[in-house]
Amino acid sequence: MTDKDDGSAVSRLTINHRMAGEVAVVAVSGEVDHATSTQLIEAVRTGLDRTRGGFCVLDLTDVRFLDGHGLSALLKATRAAENRRQPLRIAVDTNRPVIRPIEITGLEEFLALYHSVEEALHA
């Protein structure tokens, strides 16, 4: 008898919220895919609710995988932030699993990308 993978442990996402002064920082690590993309959107909404600095920072520097569902989630989160007039600044560092899909799809034109959380906070 073999173990059947039901997909429940395939994708993991860790989300941490913190404040940097008046600005909410949402740090995400793990995989952003079909199973976790809604968690990312909800985490950004929570960050937008908490921020008092006029914008929110999404830290993706520890994300290991980003698929099409994750890219869509980034666009939805960015639109949600724009609708609240609280821009979403996304820290990607040199994280290739995040930068590469963004570049391939041309989404760097639509997302506010920064090399670090510090840069995003002080831009």
In the block, which residue shows the tokens 């919220």? Answer: 17
In the block, which residue shows the tokens 């073999």? Answer: 2
pTM of the model: 0.89
- The residue type at 57: V
- Residue 110: per-residue pLDDT: 94
102 alpha carbon, distance to own chain's centre:
12
Quick check: is 3 in a domain?
A: no
The sign of the torsion formed by the CA atoms of 108, 95, 75, 27 equals negative
Quick check: is 12 in a domain?
A: no
What is the C-alpha to C-alpha distance for residues 31 and 66, in angstroms, rounded to an integer? 6
CB atoms within 10 A of CB 18: 14
Strand ranges across the sheet with 56-66: 13-20, 23-32, 56-66, 88-91, 112-114
- Residue 89: per-residue pLDDT: 98
From first to last of its 123 residues, what are the pLDDT tens digits of the chain? 333 334 444 458 999 999 999 999 999 999 999 999 999 999 999 999 999 999 999 999 999 999 999 999 999 999 999 999 999 999 998 889 999 999 999 999 999 999 999 999 998
Residue 48's domain comprises: 17-122
CATH number for the domain including 115? 3.30.750.24
- Residue 22: per-residue pLDDT: 96
Quick check: is 4 in a domain?
A: no
Domain count, the chain: 1
Quick check: is 57 in a domain?
A: yes
76 alpha carbon, distance to own chain's centre:
10
What is the C-alpha to C-alpha distance for residues 109 and 94, in angstroms, rounded to an integer? 17
